[in-house]
């Protein structure tokens, strides 16, 4: 198998974003934009993964994977110049293929890159091209009458006739190492931009260039927030399609948000408006009702969440639990069969099996300095509008009366009443009427 080095270009500023931050660190579906290209490159199992950084390199370095070697392009003098810096960083003994990707193309697929790599066989280089409706800003693919690739011309240097060409250069290439050794450092900057173009290597390959046609959306470069939103919508659609094909039912995939690190088992049912993010795991038969928000949580088999529930980071629901409407949980675990049906906040708590926590119940887990935990053992019933002041333990089978403020441990099988005594003043209201 051919050895592979992947170079991801992450040095540009991205001025069209009109942001003070590098576009490489802008968030696209929970990940920094450049991580999509780096992660798909990593999936090819390259011997070397290099990220070329430049603008705000300190911030960009913070979001790179540990497996990526950084290469600094102190001056942004074009794609050819960027690859020169990366090529110098490779081991002198490296021999194989060098793939070049951009850090702002989050929609490129691993299978497409594998097809590109396969097309290098017998050629000096290979490149991805697309037919687009609006080719403005892209380099155009020039072919002869027989359809063979002749070259690539950048838009600013193209004639009006060439600008009408709809086939564009995606900027994603793979080269043979020996070819780069011969030609990469001979590139010149005799062009409008005074930059070193990788496209000039097409002429050096003397017809030994393979092209792989790919859908326009897959090679989209993100240059502004409109394109960023579009890219995220495509990624969301891909993720939702994947899970539906794995046996997950979604009432309205368009309004359903599922992050890239979420895992869902078959026979899960998801209603409209649901947002699921982080490394959330949902087991078979769960039902996620409308407009629930789930972050970094675990949901057991047959459990129901929502509608309008919020599971914050660290929530763990066991089998056949129920977290109902307008319930918020945070760093809380619930064992089999436990329920919080509505209008409650449960944080920093461990809830046992078959507990019932009534409406309006609040766990007071923060004293202004530290977080404290609450332990609720199996079979506990907490009445509505109760306040549990941490740290406190509710023993097995205990019962908390509605409206109670619990500040001390409750023994097993005990009834806890922690509310003010009701006093009725007979006839008092007649004096006020």
The pLDDT score that the predictor gives to residue 206 is: 79
pLDDT of residue 432: 60
CB–CB of 221/105 below 8 Å? yes
The b-or-e profile of 53-69 (16+ CB within 10 A means b, else e) is: bbbbbeebeebbeeebe
DSSP 420: P
Which DSSP state fits 413? T
Indicate which residue of 48, 183, 310, 342 is catalytic.
342
Neighbours of 207 (CB within 10 A): 12
pLDDT computed for residue 14 by the predictor: 80
| DSSP characters over 170-220 | EEEEEEEHHHHHHHGGG----STT----GGGHHHHTTT-EEEEE--GGGG-
pLDDT band at 91 (very low <50, low <70, confident <90, very high): confident
**Degrees, nearest 5: CA angle 312-318-320:** 110
Q: Please check the confidence at residue 431 and state whether its pLDDT lies above 70.
A: no
Q: What is the pTM (predicted TM-score) of this model?
A: 0.90
pLDDT score for 146? 84
**Is residue 13 very low, low, confident or very high in pLDDT (cuts 50, 70, 90)?**
confident
Could you give the CA distance from residue 303 to residue 300 in angstroms, rounded to a whole number? 6
Q: Which pLDDT belongs to residue 150?
A: 85
pLDDT higher than 80, residue 170: yes
Q: What is the mean pLDDT of residues 52-71?
A: 94
Quickly state the pLDDT bin for 1 (edges 50, 70, 90).
Answer: low
| Neighbour-count burial for 1-39, b at 16+ CB within 10 Å, e otherwise | eeebbbbbbbbbebeebeeeebbbbbebbebbbbbbbbb
Helices and strands counted in the chain (H then E):
8, 36
Share of the chain above pLDDT 90, in %: 81
Q: Mean pLDDT over residues 329-351, rounded?
A: 98
Strand, coil or helix: 148: coil
pLDDT per residue over 261-299, tens digit each? Answer: 999 999 999 999 999 999 999 999 999 999 999 999 999
| pLDDT, average across residues 195-208 | 88
Output the pLDDT for position 107: 97
Average pLDDT, the chain: 94
Pairwise CA distance, residues 315 & 309, whole Å: 12
Among 172-186, 188-202, 299-313, 389-403, the least confident range? 188-202
Looking at per-residue pLDDT, the higher value among 373 and 145 belongs to: 373
81 is annotated as an active-site residue: no
* pLDDT for 147: 85
Q: Which of residues 353 and 148 earns the better pLDDT score?
A: 353
Distance CA 30, CA 232 (A): 9
Mean pLDDT to the nearest integer, 251-261:
97
Mean pLDDT of 91-95: 85
Confidence of residue 27 (pLDDT cuts 50, 70, 90): very high
What is the distance between the alpha carbons of residues 218 and 214, in angstroms, rounded to a whole number? 7
Judged against a pLDDT cut of 60, whether residue 227 lies above it is answered with yes
Residue 364 has pLDDT above 70, yes or no: yes
Q: In which element (H, E) is residue 240 found?
A: helix 225-245
Q: Which of 328, 316, 329, 327 is nearest to 282 (CA)?
A: 316
Mean pLDDT to the nearest integer, 420-425: 87
Mean pLDDT of 22-43: 96
Q: Please report which helix (H) or strand (E) contains residue 328, including its range.
A: strand 322-330
Whether pLDDT at 433 is above 70 = no
Out of 140-149, 228-237, 272-281, 373-382, least confident range: 140-149
Predicted pLDDT at 224: 93
């Amino acid at each position: 198998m051919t050895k592979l080095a992947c170079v991801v270009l992450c040095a540009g500023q991205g001025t069209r974003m009109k942001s003070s931050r590098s576009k490489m660190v802008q968030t696209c579906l929970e990940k920094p934009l450049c991580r999509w290209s780096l992660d798909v490159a990593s999936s090819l199992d390259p011997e070397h993964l290099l990220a070329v950084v430049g603008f705000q390199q300190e911030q960009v370095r913070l979001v790179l994977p540990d497996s990526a070697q950084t290469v600094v392009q102190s001056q942004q003098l074009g794609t050819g110049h960027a690859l020169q810096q990366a090529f110098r960083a490779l081991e002198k003994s490296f021999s194989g293929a060098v793939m070049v990707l951009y850090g702002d193309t989050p929609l490129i697929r691993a299978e497409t890159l594998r097809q590109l790599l396969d097309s290098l066989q017998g050629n000096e280089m290979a490149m991805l091209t697309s037919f687009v409706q609006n080719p403005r800003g892209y380099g155009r693919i020039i072919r002869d009458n027989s359809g063979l690739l002749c070259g690539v011309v950048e838009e600013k240097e193209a004639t009006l006739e060439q600008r009408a060409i709809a086939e564009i250069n995606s900027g994603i290439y793979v080269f043979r190492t020996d070819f780069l050794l011969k030609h990469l450092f001979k590139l010149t900057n005799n062009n409008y931009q005074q930059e070193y173009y990788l496209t000039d290597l097409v002429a050096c390959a003397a017809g030994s260039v393979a092209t792989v046609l790919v859908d326009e959306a897959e090679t989209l470069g993100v240059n502004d927030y409109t394109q960023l939103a579009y890219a995220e919508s495509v990624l969301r659609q891909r993720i939702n399609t994947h899970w539906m094909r794995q046996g997950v039912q979604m009432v309205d995939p368009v309004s359903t948000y599922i992050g890239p690190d979420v895992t869902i088992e078959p026979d899960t049912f998801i209603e409209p408006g649901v947002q699921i993010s982080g490394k959330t795991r949902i087991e078979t038969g769960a039902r996620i009702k409308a407009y629930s928000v789930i972050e970094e949580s675990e949901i057991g088999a047959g459990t129901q969440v929502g509608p309008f529930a919020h599971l914050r980071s660290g929530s763990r629901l066991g089998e056949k639990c129920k977290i109902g409407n307008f319930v918020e949980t945070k760093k809380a675990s619930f064992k089999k069969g436990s329920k919080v049906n509505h209008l409650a906040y449960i944080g920093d708590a461990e809830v046992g099996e078959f507990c019932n926590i009534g409406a309006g119940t609040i766990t007071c887990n923060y004293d202004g300095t530290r977080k404290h935990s609450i332990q609720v053992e199996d079979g506990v019933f907490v009445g509505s509008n109760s306040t549990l002041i941490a740290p406190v333990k509710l023993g097995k089978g205990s019962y908390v009366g509605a409206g109670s403020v619990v500040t001390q441990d409750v023994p097993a099988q005990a009834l806890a009443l922690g509310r003010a005594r009701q006093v009725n003043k007979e006839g008092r209201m007649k004096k006020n009427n």
